[in-house]
Structures are given as structure tokens and as C-alpha cells.
Amino acid sequence: MPGHEPFTTDDRARIKQFAREAGFDLCGIAPAGNFHELEAFPGWIADGLHGEMRYMESRNEAGDLKRARLAHVAPWARSVIVCAINYNTAEPYSTRVNDRSRGWISRYAWSREDYHEAVLRRLRQVESRLRQPETSNILQSRSYVDTGPLIERVYARYAGIGWIGKNTCIINQQLGSWLFLGVILTSLELAPDLPAPDRCGRCTRCLDACPTHAFVAPGELDARLCISYLTIEKRGEIPDELRSGLGRHVFGCDICQDVCPWNRKAPITRAEEFQPREGLVNPALDWLAEMQADEFRSVFRGSPVRRAKLTGLRRNAVVAMGNSGDEKFLPTLQRLSDDADPVVAEHARWAVNTLKAALGSGL
């Protein structure tokens, strides 16, 4: 199997079989080319729509944005193998949960194992099987799971995994959008798959459902307004005008996926490690708001939730308590108004005033 000649149809099928045997639900191959979807990225960065996510500004030695073109970081890459695995579980969607005393952690972060590790382990199984004796000395490859200097969803589209929805998520006609993506950059010249056709049509449910109006246009997200960004990436104070829009979300947001018609019949994952940890589905808000460092480390060991840090998670919880309309939270919030963490204390004071106003209006 020569290293830089196109694979035959059978060889491409064999790679997809490797992916299935590693536990992936989908696999496709995209060329390592320049796609028109990537052309908007420099302008998106220049307009500051990425907020405080400075890692997206990463540049090569020539000063080029790495994510704007694969050749900026991997000029040797000829093909991108994109793998996807379903992480949906049987738990209700956030839009169907109405318990005011409980918050929402995004579905992807419930898992018993950090998805980065779970997906990367599978990717490396596939990558190792590419390194056959006749290619091992000349093959270059690199695996990424949500950490590489590239925009995975663009390559997923051209690999036929799914289309990019108006909410910027990859949507597969059979599996919906509850998908973790992993990519293998390779120097092998592989015959690419056909891009997936866009099947969103005139539907705008995801755009209409966003509480903070984070979509400035179909397929264009202002991260600074996104609940996922605000509860995970944003440090310090959340802007006052956006706090009420967070509702009871404490880590991430699933609303634009929960309302998507393509997720109505989304199947349940076969991967055991993506089943939810105890206590993370609709967690009690007062438990999170008063959580201490030792418990945070224990409960969220190996979890994506650690990215928010304890300060961020507690901050988010008190905002959610303020938005809850639940009078029972007032004593806790009043106590947290003098918390040693100034960020938590400031948001708790806002929550007290918000909750009192809601109760006074009879809400």
C-alpha cells in the first residue's frame, strides 16, 4: 500500500472498518484542502466574536492564523480522516426539564470518562492500523480531539459525516447532532467522500430558541453571547444584561440541539463511558453553589466540567438560583453574598435582587 498514491475503494472501506472496530459510529475522508467555510474565520477573529478564547488566535511563525488553513500547521497532510461517535443518552432534553431547584449541565459533560480521552483512545487504534509495514517509515499522521489547530466540523462536512447546521453543529441524518468528532491528519492520499447535503431547509428553530440571541446569522455564532461560552470559557463577571438569559444553565447549553427536529429520534449511544455520572443530570443548584474545593476535585475528576473551575461553576449556580424563581434559595444566596470568593459574592447579590424582584411580581 504505497504511501502517497490514492487508495483503492477497498482500501478506503478498510479504513472505515478500522473505525467501526474501534467503536466509532461514523467515519469519512476529506481532502486536506482549503474550503470556503474557512475563509470567514479570520474575519470572525478580527471582529472579536471569539471573546476571551485566545487559543483561537494562535498563529504560525509567519503570523498566519493556524485554524484558517491546514497547510499553516501541517503542510504534509494530504487527507483528513474524520471519525464520529454518538454520545446521546436516554435522559430527557433540557427543554423538557422544569424543576426550578435544579440546574443543567450540558449532555456532553455527563460522561463517566472525559470525552477527549475516550475518543482519542479510539483514534489511536485507527491510526496504529494505518501504520502497516510498507507505510510505517514514510507515513505522517496526527490525531486530535477538540484540541487541534483546525475547525473539525468543516472537515466533517467534506468527509460526509453530516452538514453544518444553522447552529454551527454537525448534523447527521440518521444520528442527529449528539456527536463527538475526532480527526486523523495523514500524509496518505486518500480518495475523499462526498460532502453531506444541507438538510436544514427553512427551519430556524435553533436560532429562534437561543435565549441570548447568540446567532448573528444562520451558521454564525457570536461566542460572547453564547451560554456555553459564558458558563465555561468566560472568567470573572458575566455581563449583567446576559445573566437572566442563562436560565438554570450551570455548564454549557443544549437548547439549540434539543429543539432540532433531527434530534427527535436520535439513537442512544452504545458507549458505556458516555453514560452519565451520578448526580450530574439536573444537579441541585444549592449543592453546586456551596461546593468546596475537595468535593469539586472528587466529583469532577476527569470531567470537562473542571474547565469552568470551581469559581466559575459556583458563579453559574448562584446566577441560576437567581433565575429560578424559587424562594427557598434566598437564605443561601444571602449568605453567599458575603462569600470569600468575590466573583461568587457579586453574582449572589445580583441573584438576591433578581429573585426578590421576581417574587415581588408574583412570578
Strands 79-86 and 26-31: antiparallel
Please name the amino acid found at residue 24: F
CA-based torsion, 11, 15, 16, 20: positive or negative: positive
Query: Is 11 one of the catalytic residues?
Result: no
Are 156 and 170 in contact by the 8 Å Cβ rule? The answer is: yes
Q: How far apart are CA 108 and CA 330, in angstroms?
A: 31
User: How far from the centroid of its chain's Cα atoms is residue 85's Cα?
Assistant: 13
- DSSP type of residue 102: B
Residue in the block written with cell 448562584: 318
Q: Which of 64, 146, 198, 341 is the catalytic position? A: 146
Q: How far apart are CA 161 and CA 155, in angstroms?
A: 9
Strands 220-221 and 26-31: unpaired
Strands 249-251 and 104-105: parallel
CA-based torsion, 310, 87, 144, 40: positive or negative: negative
Enumerate the active-site residues.
Answer: 146
